[in-house]
Amino acid sequence: MLPRSSSATSSRRVVTSRSGGVITSRDTPSRSRCLPARPRRRDGGRVLKPTPPPRRGPAVVVLLAAGGASLGLSLVVPWAGPLLLALVLGGVVAATPGAGRGPLAGHAPVTRALLRGGIVLLGLRLPLDRVADVGVGGVAVVVLTLTTTFAVTTTAGRVLGVDRRLTALVATGFSVCGAAAVAAVEDAVRPRERDVAVTVALVTVHGTALVLLVPWAAAALGLDDRQAAVWAGASIHEVGQVVAAAALLGPGALAVATAVKLTRVLLLAPVYAVVARGAGAGGRPRGTPVVPWFVAGFAAAVAVRTADVLPAPVLDVADGAASVLLAAAMFGLGLGLRVRDLLPLPPGVLALSAVATATVAGTSLVLVLALV
């Protein structure tokens, strides 16, 4: 019989018992046979260590600073609005070499967190008792205009062959509250960053045009101050743009126009639910709530504001913080843009934005003449 090889004998262990007997047993391997040895990647003889995740603290500081700068810049260029300016500023920074490294390396999750926080704080601007100032006729104008604009824009998007996600952004932004609404539903729609930028730019341009058109048309049509104010609040996209138009209408129009506009903003939560439900068929992760925590937080903030439990200084700070957070988030979205990806603008979305503006302005005017 052939002798055992060294490899075979080395796998056995000899143990002497107290009685002098010899017991042999298999040697226990030093590494589990079930688990393979962990591979080591080497580069020039050195073990490569995994790259640590980027730190988010520096990105928070940079984004908040950019948001504050955009608010300051909007005082010089009021027609553009801080959110559009922040988006453009982010695109400019993204075009510089090495922008994706350093403190901005971890900006994507920071952008989402700041956006959601801004939406929650936005609810503190909206006491429900302001709806009573609008009146039944004013509320009917708001609800019917928003519903009609959203439905017509969604249908027109299908007819024009516009991407479903881009159509949802346009329908929401033009029917609710402009760039803030676009940013809010971005989480549900999950569009391309290019689509967000295009929609924000278009809703700002169309809203600026309405700031000039609505006061002129109201005077030409002989609308009284209340009718003109309700029309401005129900048709113009951004809150700041409504304030600008109301200033052209007269001092008595500001309170009514702002109340009507804030009533539109209150409908952001149900519109988000509709958009998220429609986007669910497009791949929303299973088990994801239709209304996420930040939209529920928005509704809770509205309730807190309505209860009037917070002092005025706290509300002032929250108002400023909401503006900074939303502008910072738009700057973060701009960091993912490339100018070459934006141009030329698709003719379909240009036509869709024109349809949305014509619908919101025309529908609200007809309803104002009939109900106010």
Q: What is the mean pLDDT of the chain?
A: 79
3-state secondary structure of 280: helix
> Which residues in the chain show pLDDT less than 50?
1-37, 39-43, 45, 47-48, 51-52, 281-283, 285-286
Q: Cα separation of 194 and 314, whole Å?
A: 36
Q: Cα separation of 47 and 59, whole Å?
A: 30
Longest dimension (CA), the chain: 118
pLDDT at 343: 66
pLDDT at 11: 45
Q: Cα separation of 256 and 1, whole Å?
A: 106
In a domain, 82, yes or no: yes
In a domain, 20, yes or no: no
In a domain, 25, yes or no: no
In a domain, 33, yes or no: no
Strand duo 42-43 + 46-47: pairing: antiparallel
In DSSP terms, 46 is beta-bridged to: 43
3-state secondary structure of 238: coil
Indicate the pTM of the whole model. 0.70
In a domain, 102, yes or no: yes
In a domain, 83, yes or no: yes
pLDDT at 54: 56
In a domain, 249, yes or no: yes
pLDDT at 186: 81
Q: Cα separation of 298 and 311, whole Å?
A: 19
Which token pair is 190? 């999950």
Q: State pLDDT tens for residues 197-250.
A: 888 888 888 988 898 899 999 999 999 989 999 999 999 988 878 888 888 887
pLDDT at 158: 94
Single-letter residue type at 59 = A
In a domain, 13, yes or no: no
Q: State pLDDT tens for residues 305-358.
A: 989 899 999 999 999 999 899 889 888 878 876 666 566 778 899 999 999 999
pLDDT at 317: 94
Q: What's the structural domain count of the chain? A: 1
pLDDT at 295: 75
- Residue 262: which residues within 8 A CB-CB, separation 6 or more? 125, 126, 130, 239
Domain that holds residue 276: 57-371
